Amino acid sequence: MKRTIMAISARIALTAARVIAAACLCMLGLWAYMVFAPDCRFDRFEWTRDGHRVPASEVCARDLALRETRRDGRDCLELYALKDGLPIGEHCPVPGAR
């Protein structure tokens, strides 16, 4: 009886060790991905509702900022590049929306 309890305890401990090792391996893989992956991982991103797409080379969150603009009597948000201040895209609410 004592051997059976010892065997079950050993199996539980071994299973727990395997689960912990697998979790550590996953965390190590995630860390390696975050360290060695490029800073900006955008393929293509749509910034406006009219389907205008910005190439991946132009889109990186650390290089962009937002400013409020007024278009056709609506308050809009304009996305612009910090490097040169040129607009990249804008988001305006649909007329009649709140």
pLDDT of res. 43: 45
pLDDT of res. 53: 58
User: By C-alpha distance, which of 30, 54, 29 is closest to 42?
Assistant: 54
Give the mean pLDDT per block of 10 residues along the chain (98 residues). 81 95 94 73 50 56 83 84 83 74
Here the tokens at position 23 are 């979790």
pLDDT of res. 44: 45
Strand partners of residue 70: 75
pLDDT of res. 11: 92
pLDDT of res. 62: 73
Virtual torsion, Cα 13, 15, 17, 20, nearest 10 deg: -140
Strand partners of residue 68: 77
